[in-house]
Amino acid sequence: MSSEPQKPQASENTPAPATTGPVMRRRYLSEGSEWTFDLLRLYDQEIARVAAHYGLDTYPNQIEVITSEQMIDAYSSVGMPVGYHHWSFGKQFMATQKSYKRGQMGLAYEIVINSNPCIAYLMEENTMTMQALVIAHACYGHNSFFKGNYLFRTWTDAEGILDYLVFARNFVAECEERYGEEAVEEILDSCHALMNYGVDRYKRPAKLSMAKEKARQRSREAYLQSQVNLLWRTLPPKEAAAKARQEERFPPEPQENLLYFIEKNAPRLESWQREIVRIVRKIAQYFYPQRQTQVMNEGWATFWHYTLLNHLYEEGRLTDGFMLEFLQSHTNVVYQPPYYSRAYSGINPYALGFAMFRDLRRICEAPTDEDHRWFPDIAGTDWVKTLDFAMRNFKDESFIAQYLSPHLIRELRLFAVLDDDAKDQLEIAAIHDDAGYRVIRQFLADQYNLGNREPNIQVWNVDLYGDRSLTLRHFMHNRRPLGDSTPEMLRHVARLWGYDVRIESVDETGEVELVGECLV
Amino acid sequence: MSSFVDRRLSGKNRSAVNRQRFLRRYKQQIRRAVAEAVSGRKVADLERGERISIPAKDLSEPVFQHGPGGRRVIVHPGNKEFVTGDRIDRPKGGAGQGGRGGSPEGEGMDEFVFELTKEEFMNYFFEDLALPDLVKKQLTATPEVKKVRAGFVSQGNPANLHVVRSMKQAIGRRLAMAAGPRERLAEVEAALAELEAKGEGASAEADRLREEIAALEARVAAVPFLDTWDLRYAHRIDQPQPTSRAVMFCVMDVSGSMDEERKDIAKRFFMLLYLFLTKSYEKIDLVFIRHHTVAKEVDEDDFFTSRETGGTVVSSALELMREIIRTRYPSAAWNIYVAQASDGDNWEDDSPRCRELLINDILPLVQYYAYVEIQAEHPQSLWHQYEYVKAVNRNFAMQRILGLEDIYPVFRELFRRKASA
């Protein structure tokens, strides 16, 4: 699919002459490429009508028209409409601006923010076609995904995010005034470095407000408890007691949310520093679902802009010129270069996601025998319902594990390469054949498992009765070691913790090895 | 259910603060990069040398990562040749292999490249620098302004009313406004005269003409002699007036012993000074004097591009400079700076004369005199004489430059901001 442009179905391809066709007359929404606000409204209404026809459930949209400079601004603050100030955003801004000015890179067509109302940006330089594409993609595709997918429902608070970001920006600015920009920047640097380790992966969904209240109460207790923190105990320990204590670790169970642990337990952070740790943690948590659903989210939005606009075209509301321009950028977006191409840089999430949703629809509408064997539950069912279910209840990893079909594996000609440093050569582990389908599906799903992509590092122990040093443990997966950024990372952890920090790697046999140390 | 907002007019520089944060954080690296840009590039590049590159590793934002090694499986698309169980060699630094790769000097991913605006570039370049001893003729940031005439305007205050211009304007207006009635008047009077000539002066027609004449005369008379519309005022505008003017003499040896490389270094030295002065002063005169056995005042292009051969008589240049100062730049009205570049070669007999000229005639007139000796293998006669000059004069500085990369430090050393300033 990747190499050939998406062809509209035959009926769409033959323009029905207005004079002969018994079908509806063509009433184009507009001709020409100029957009106006009236036209944007008209297109939005039409797209909304079709989206409702397919049962897409969305937040209200707030569509903002901006200039390309503003787009660079928005782009470089990682899509946060309001952000605190930090040099890394400036770096991103300068890099984006440079490559945009030199023409090395087009700007993203759209940025959409998971908030209620859902904010989407349109660039003023775009043609009417592109604006319509973005409206369909962002305001109905991404928007419905944000509202429907379980990860977003569980982890993000679309209602409150803008308020929280405003709070965060003001708080950081206030701290800068009080404690100096450098001091705040140091904390932020370290927190940003640990951002990926500032999320709860398996926490239960947020409780009702009563539960929230209780949690607050608990945190007050925890505060009182922190006043008698053993970390501060200076009395010399008794020998026997010390021995017993050596056995028990703190925390009793390893903790994977490093920033949370630091926020709650780092002995030397001041309260404003803890609050900043918390802010970064909250933002990391807010973006966590997006990192886990890239393929699905983009695939879903791409599938819907394609479906919605084709629907409008079939109704005779769009001109042929519109469709040609639309299909051209659509095919650019979903192009998947093969592994031997110079343009290849991994699997294109737009391409994979789009292909999978299209394939799902195919399985529902025109199942083959193979599909009936592989997907007995969904073959031949209502595709709208099936896709809706898939969108709501999966993330990339499970989505691929559940729905990647042999048909698509053949179409994409996927193959798995095993890279084992114990062997001299790479080995082809599986290709698109009967023996390989399940293997490839599992490997590809693993590839999107954030837990495999990032080293698994957890808080293991704090030497409560000794030098207060913090020990992290890296649980190795497939013997993969830590990279060379580790010493620098330990300095960041140590800056937050305030005392010595060590990191140990544990391999699959349970053998522990000290791989890094940062002494304060 | 969708609302549209036009944000195009709301602020566009949201990232300006973040950009400044970035620049501040990497000040050291940027300054180093600026210094390198200055020493390693052509002079002509300097004015637009705003592209800065910093080693990417200096500004990386680290995260915990997997290193190379271990066992992993990657799924790729587009298989066209492999079957299960095939073994292939590892690609060298190939696709999918995250890793270091690339030399430290390398381009591409190893360098973070960005643009400094010209102002930013210049600010880095000139940081901490100022011309010395400015106290005497204080250079202020806001220049004095002087009112100068700039034509005439139709609005102004009464004191600036320009009578002649206003009257001229009135004449034109009166002519124009009365032109129609006058023309008609002439016609009517001619008609009346005709009637009277025919002896019909008492007819009803004649009376009608007389009435019209009266009406037309009244209209002509009603055109005002002077109208507010006519008024013209002398216009005066503020022209910035440098509070202190500076002239900079660039003196360079272009004799045969100055080879291309040395000239290149000298060229850069002057260029830096020139850039600095254009930043600090509203108005700077530049005088370029080149010399071998005879000195000559030349324009900027000639100064940097011409080639001469022959021996060296430094005093010829000093004498010419003294003449120019006397005739064109009285030291009471000008801050005078001299920058001299030479390879130190001079006629033995001439060097003492240079010393005398400097001490007696030139140094009393100038604010500051900077001498650089370029790539002299060992100090030559001129250097020894100048050392004596330096010992007795506070406003004289000298420095030796060995390579291209020494220019910038020398420049800073020569013009370091005095603590007293």
Interface predicted TM-score (ipTM): 0.82
More confident residue, A300 or B191: A300
Q: What's the pLDDT score for residue A7?
A: 35
* Residue A420 with chain B: CB contacts under 8 Å: 70-72
Rounded CA-CA distance A376/A379 in Å is 6
C-alpha distances out from residue A74 to A70, A104, A247, B158, Å: 6, 19, 51, 55
* Residue B29 with chain A: CB contacts under 8 Å: none
C-alpha distances out from residue A21 to A16, A24, A30, Å: 6, 7, 21
Q: What's the pLDDT score for residue A416?
A: 94
Helix axes A271-292, A258-265, angle to 10 degrees: 170
Beta bridge partners of A61: A118, B2
Q: Does A456 touch chain B (CB under 8 A)?
A: no
Identify the band that residue B121 occupies on the pLDDT scale cut at 50, 70 and 90.
Answer: confident
Question: Does the global pTM surpass 0.80?
Answer: no
Amino acid at B6: D
In 3D space, the residue among A169, A184, A90 whose CA is nearest the CA of residue B14 turns out to be A90
Return the minimum-mean-pLDDT range out of A338-352, A427-441, B170-184, B235-249: B235-249
Report the residue of chain A nearest B61, measured CA to CA: A193
CB atoms within 10 A of CB A329: 15
For range B161-172, the mean pLDDT: 93
Torsion sign, CA atoms A255, A258, A260, A264? positive
Rounded CA-CA distance A84/A165 in Å is 8
Identify the band that residue B109 occupies on the pLDDT scale cut at 50, 70 and 90.
Answer: low
Report the residue of chain A nearest B100, measured CA to CA: A484
Pairing between β-strand B245-253 and β-strand B334-342 as defined by DSSP bridges: parallel
Report chain A's terminal Cα–Cα distance, integer Å.
56
Pairing between β-strand B334-342 and β-strand B368-374 as defined by DSSP bridges: parallel
CB atoms within 10 A of CB A231: 17
CA A408 and chain centroid, separation: 24
Rounded CA-CA distance A134/A118 in Å is 13
Q: What's the pLDDT score for residue B46?
A: 53
* Residue A86 with chain B: CB contacts under 8 Å: 18, 21
Q: What's the pLDDT score for residue A450?
A: 85
Q: Does B78 touch chain A (CB under 8 A)?
A: yes
The distance of A422 to chain B (nearest Cα, Å) reads 8
Best residue in A118, A410, A419 for a mutation probing chain B (most B CBs within 10 Å): A419
Are residues A480 and B66, on separate chains, in Cβ contact within 8 Å? Answer: yes
**Radius of gyration from C-alpha coordinates of chain A:** 26
Are residues A73 and B96, on separate chains, in Cβ contact within 8 Å? Answer: no
Q: Does A51 touch chain B (CB under 8 A)?
A: no
* Residue B71 with chain A: CB contacts under 8 Å: 418-422, 478-480
C-alpha distances out from residue B277 to B182, B268, B270, B420, Å: 66, 14, 10, 20
Are residues B69 and A421, on separate chains, in Cβ contact within 8 Å? Answer: yes
Report chain B's terminal Cα–Cα distance, integer Å.
65
Q: How long, in residues, is chain B?
A: 421
Residue B405's φ and ψ, nearest 5 degrees, are -75, -10
Query: What residues contact residue A104 under an 8 Å CB cut-off, 6+ apart?
Result: none
CB atoms within 10 A of CB A31: 11
Q: Does A435 touch chain B (CB under 8 A)?
A: yes
Q: Over the stretch B15-24, which tens digit does the pLDDT of each residue have?
A: 888 888 888 8
- Please check whether residue B339 is in contact with residue B367, taking contact to mean a CB–CB distance below 8 angstroms: no
CB atoms within 10 A of CB A96: 19
* Residue B60 with chain A: CB contacts under 8 Å: 485
* Residue B5 with chain A: CB contacts under 8 Å: 62-65
- Please check whether residue B331 is in contact with residue B241, taking contact to mean a CB–CB distance below 8 angstroms: no
Are residues B5 and A65, on separate chains, in Cβ contact within 8 Å? Answer: yes
Rounded CA-CA distance A116/B261 in Å is 67
C-alpha distances out from residue B253 to B79, B286, B340, B391, Å: 70, 17, 8, 24
Cis peptide before A251 (omega within 30 of 0): yes
Torsion of CA A38, A43, A45, A47, to 10 degrees: -170
Q: How many CB pairs under 8 A join A and B?
A: 257
Identify the band that residue B95 occupies on the pLDDT scale cut at 50, 70 and 90.
Answer: very low
C-alpha distances out from residue B38 to A195, A308, A417, B117, Å: 39, 57, 49, 15
Are residues B63 and A95, on separate chains, in Cβ contact within 8 Å? Answer: no
pLDDT beyond 50 at B280 = yes
Q: Does A143 touch chain B (CB under 8 A)?
A: no
Beta bridge partners of B144: B241
Residue pLDDT tens, chain A, 520 long: 333 333 333 333 334 344 434 445 568 888 888 899 999 999 999 999 999 999 999 999 999 998 888 888 888 877 677 889 998 888 888 888 877 777 655 556 678 888 888 999 998 888 899 999 999 999 999 999 999 999 998 888 888 888 888 889 999 999 999 999 889 999 999 999 999 998 888 765 454 455 565 666 677 667 765 655 556 566 665 665 556 555 678 888 888 899 999 998 998 888 899 999 999 998 888 888 998 999 999 999 999 999 999 999 999 999 999 999 999 999 988 999 999 998 898 999 999 999 999 999 999 999 999 999 999 999 999 999 999 999 999 999 999 999 999 999 999 999 999 998 888 889 999 999 999 999 999 999 999 998 888 899 999 999 888 888 999 999 998 888 998 889 999 999 999 999 999 999 998 888 999 998 988 7
Q: What's the pLDDT score for residue B98?
A: 37
Are residues A76 and B18, on separate chains, in Cβ contact within 8 Å? Answer: yes
* Residue B19 with chain A: CB contacts under 8 Å: 90, 93-94
Which range has the top average pLDDT, A200-214, B11-25, B159-173, B400-414? B159-173
Best residue in A131, A415, A444 for a mutation probing chain B (most B CBs within 10 Å): A415
Are residues B2 and A62, on separate chains, in Cβ contact within 8 Å? Answer: yes
The distance of B84 to chain A (nearest Cα, Å) reads 5
Best residue in B71, B75, B76, B90 for a mutation probing chain A (most A CBs within 10 Å): B75
- Please check whether residue B323 is in contact with residue B358, taking contact to mean a CB–CB distance below 8 angstroms: no
Q: Does A400 touch chain B (CB under 8 A)?
A: no
Return the minimum-mean-pLDDT range out of A181-190, A334-343, B302-311, B364-373: B302-311
Are residues B79 and A415, on separate chains, in Cβ contact within 8 Å? Answer: yes
Instruction: Please name the member of A61, A85, A98 whose beta carbon is closest to the beta carbon of B18.
Output: A85
Residue B286's φ and ψ, nearest 5 degrees, are -115, 135
Cis peptide before A117 (omega within 30 of 0): yes
Are residues B5 and A181, on separate chains, in Cβ contact within 8 Å? Answer: no
For range B49-56, the mean pLDDT: 70
CA A7 and chain centroid, separation: 30
Pairing between β-strand B71-76 and β-strand A118-123 as defined by DSSP bridges: unpaired
- Please check whether residue A414 is in contact with residue B77, taking contact to mean a CB–CB distance below 8 angstroms: yes
Range list of H helices, B247-377 = 260-280, 300-305, 314-328, 350-356
Are residues A428 and B65, on separate chains, in Cβ contact within 8 Å? Answer: no
In 3D space, the residue among B178, B182, B180, B189 whose CA is nearest the CA of residue B211 turns out to be B189
- Give the CA angle between residues A438, A443, A446 to the nearest 5°: 125
CA A324 and chain centroid, separation: 31
Range list of H helices, A180-293 = 181-193, 209-227, 239-247, 258-265, 271-292
Q: What's the pLDDT score for residue A81?
A: 76
Report the residue of chain A nearest B5, measured CA to CA: A64
* Chain B stretch 308-327, residues whose beta carbon is closer than 8 A to a beta carbon of chain A: none
Give A131-135 contacts, CB < 8 A, sequence gap 24+: A131/A35, A131/A40, A131/A43, A132/A43, A132/A47, A132/A309, A132/A322, A132/A326, A133/A109, A133/A305, A133/A309, A133/A326, A133/A329, A133/A330, A134/A109, A134/A110, A135/A40, A135/A43, A135/A44, A135/A47, A135/A63
Are residues B8 and A484, on separate chains, in Cβ contact within 8 Å? Answer: no
Instruction: Please name the member of B13, B75, B85 whose beta carbon is closest to the beta carbon of A444.
Output: B75
* Residue B21 with chain A: CB contacts under 8 Å: 85-87, 90, 181, 185
pLDDT beyond 50 at B190 = yes
Query: What residues contact residue A168 under an 8 Å CB cut-off, 6+ apart?
Result: A83, A84, A279, A282, A283
Are residues B1 and A425, on separate chains, in Cβ contact within 8 Å? Answer: no
Q: Does A65 touch chain B (CB under 8 A)?
A: yes
Are residues B73 and A195, on separate chains, in Cβ contact within 8 Å? Answer: no
Q: Does A176 touch chain B (CB under 8 A)?
A: no
* Chain B stretch 86-145, residues whose beta carbon is closer than 8 A to a beta carbon of chain A: 86-90, 95-96, 100, 112-115
DSSP character for B364?
A: T
The distance of B60 to chain A (nearest Cα, Å) reads 9
Residues A332-370 as b/e (b if ≥16 CB within 10 A, e otherwise) read ebbebbbbeeeebeebbbbbbbbbbbbbbbbbbeebeee
* Residue A172 with chain B: CB contacts under 8 Å: none
The string of DSSP letters for B205-230 reads HHHHHHHHHHHHHHHHHHS-SS-GGG
In 3D space, the residue among B94, B60, B56 whose CA is nearest the CA of residue B74 turns out to be B94
